């Protein structure tokens, strides 16, 4: 059994790779929900949806978010009506949000809704939220605290970030299946996907008991660096690191994770900076352009975890 901790796009690439080389019942994907928000009366879970659409083969390859074969009549009409259009919702994507919102209001858990939506879209592995309780990432900028999607979408990551908080995390209960997996003797690795450490992974780590459970976990914890050659493949990781006074490098990310990690997969472009990394480093080609790349990185991670298991 493999547990993968994932944010959106970058994480979903590795999750897809893992899903193609593991049997469906041997992969549990735990998604960040710190990006979740309520918009137009709808409960929106961007990372869960990106992973779900990616595994279902429905992700939009041009946009990097939302669905393929999308139509935009809803958004066009909303614009005509003077409604809110800064967060783009395609007509097909909207059906997921409306259906999720409807079922959450009836009292169903986010886990249950997600698993059912995944099943209906033909997703093999189990995809669950990090928690069924709301956690909301907020960022301290030069203009005060703002909500994550305000920062990320409306303001296009332009504000300078001074600090982050995960509102609700201290009171949220960890998704039970995730917590149980961490003490499961059959667990062979926890994979920290190459997602933004600050925005996508740390909300998961901020949940009560998760850091302790990962530290106590007999299976190795292996991360893949989201930084390649000093740059984030996508998104604001490098920008945020610089703003927080950190050097945007594979090494800095590993140091941020600290002794949480047993293994760390670093791109060959970053060979020169592996000295200060407090984990067993594996070098490899980690840029994931093609489907084959995704599978190859997944194999590197699983092989690094296997070596760590043999060593312990």
Are 287 and 194 in contact by the 8 Å Cβ rule? The answer is no
Task: Closer to its own copies by CB, 4 or 59: give it.
Answer: 59
| Beta strands 280-284; 126-129: pairing state | unpaired
CB of 130 to its own copies, least distance (A): 22
Task: Closer to its own copies by CB, 118 or 182: give it.
Answer: 118
CB of 134 to its own copies, least distance (A): 17
| Beta strands 227-228; 231-232: pairing state | antiparallel
CB of 69 to its own copies, least distance (A): 8
Task: Closer to its own copies by CB, 74 or 287: give it.
Answer: 74
Beta strands in 118-170 (DSSP E): 126-129, 136-141, 144-147, 161-167
Residue among 14, 25, 79 nearest 265 (CA)? 14
296 alpha carbon, distance to own chain's centre? 19
Task: Closer to its own copies by CB, 154 or 311: give it.
Answer: 154
**List of residues contacting its own copies (CB under 8 A):** 40-42, 70-71, 73-78, 80-84, 90-92, 94-96, 98-99, 101-102, 105, 116-117, 120-121
Phi-psi region of 69 (alpha: psi -120 to 50; beta: other; left: phi over 0): left
| Beta strands 37-39; 42-44: pairing state | antiparallel
CB of 90 to its own copies, least distance (A): 8
Task: Closer to its own copies by CB, 78 or 155: give it.
Answer: 78
CB of 31 to its own copies, least distance (A): 18
Q: List beta partners, residue 76.
A: none
The rounded distance, in Å, linking the Cα atoms of 45 and 38 is 9
CB of 145 to its own copies, least distance (A): 22
Are 33 and 56 in contact by the 8 Å Cβ rule? The answer is no
Task: Closer to its own copies by CB, 112 or 184: give it.
Answer: 112
């Amino acid at each position: 059994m493999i547990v993968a901790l994932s944010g959106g796009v970058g994480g979903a690439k590795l999750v897809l790779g893992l899903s193609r080389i593991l049997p469906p019942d041997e992969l549990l994907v735990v998604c960040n929900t710190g990006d979740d928000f309520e918009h137009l009366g709808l409960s929106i879970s961007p990372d869960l949806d990106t992973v779900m659409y990616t595994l279902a083969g429905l992700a939009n390859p041009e946009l990097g978010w939302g669905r393929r074969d999308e139509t935009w009549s809803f958004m066009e009409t909303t614009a005509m009506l003077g409604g809110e259009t800064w967060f783009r919702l395609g007509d097909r994507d909207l059906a997921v949000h409306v259906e999720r919102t409807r079922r959450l209001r009836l009292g169903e858990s986010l886990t249950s809704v997600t698993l059912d939506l995944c099943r209906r879209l033909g997703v093999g592995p189990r995809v669950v939220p990090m928690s069924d309780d709301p956690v909301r990432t907020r960022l301290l900028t030069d203009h005060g605290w703002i909500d994550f999607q305000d920062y990320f979408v409306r303001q296009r990551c332009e504000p300078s970030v001074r600090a982050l908080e995960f509102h609700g995390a201290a009171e949220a209960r960890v998704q039970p299946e995730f917590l149980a997996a961490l003490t499961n003797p059959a667990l062979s690795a926890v994979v920290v996907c190459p997602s933004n450490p600050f925005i996508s992974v740390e909300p998961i780590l901020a949940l009560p008991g998760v850091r302790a459970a990962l530290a106590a976990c007999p299976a190795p914890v292996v991360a893949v660096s989201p930084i390649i050659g000093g740059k984030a493949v996508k998104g604001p990781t490098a920008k945020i690191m610089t703003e927080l006074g950190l050097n945007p490098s594979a090494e800095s990310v590993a140091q941020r994770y600290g002794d949480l990690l047993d293994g760390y997969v670093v791109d060959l472009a970053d060979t020169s900076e592996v000295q200060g990394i407090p984990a067993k480093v594996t070098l490899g080609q980690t840029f994931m352009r093609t489907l084959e790349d995704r599978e190859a990185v997944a194999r590197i991670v699983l092989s690094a975890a296997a070596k760590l298991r043999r060593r312990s």
